Amino acid sequence: MAVDGAFHRFSHGHQDLVLAVDYNFYGTRMVTASSDHRLKVWDRKDEGWVVTDVWLAHDAEITDVIQSNYLTSP
């Protein structure tokens, strides 16, 4: 998320460290995975990111996330 070579702050809303991020093929959706046991799905809207879904998915930290792409999925 660099703009003119500089990074800007992103309010991820997780309660702990974000350990993984993955984007869809078009860069319009991302998923964040955190030590707070949650996955968050974000959509790109008007030059910003909006949370569209939150999952409390595990009993432990989530260390990796990969989105399935319709271009590569069976």
- What residue numbers bound the domain in which 28 lies? 13-67
Confidence bin at 1 (pLDDT 50/70/90): very low
pTM comes to: 0.74
Whether 3 maps to a domain, the answer reads no
Average pLDDT of the residues in 13-24: 84
How many folded domains does the chain comprise? 1
Whether 29 maps to a domain, the answer reads yes
Whether 33 maps to a domain, the answer reads yes
Whether 26 maps to a domain, the answer reads yes
Whether 74 maps to a domain, the answer reads no
Confidence bin at 43 (pLDDT 50/70/90): very high
Return the pLDDT at 8.
61
**C-alpha span between 7 and 24 (Å, rounded):** 21
**C-alpha span between 14 and 68 (Å, rounded):** 23
Whether 5 maps to a domain, the answer reads no
Whether 2 maps to a domain, the answer reads no
Q: Are 65 and 20 in contact (CB under 8 A)?
A: yes
Whether 6 maps to a domain, the answer reads no
Among 15, 16, 8, which Cα is nearest to 49's?
8
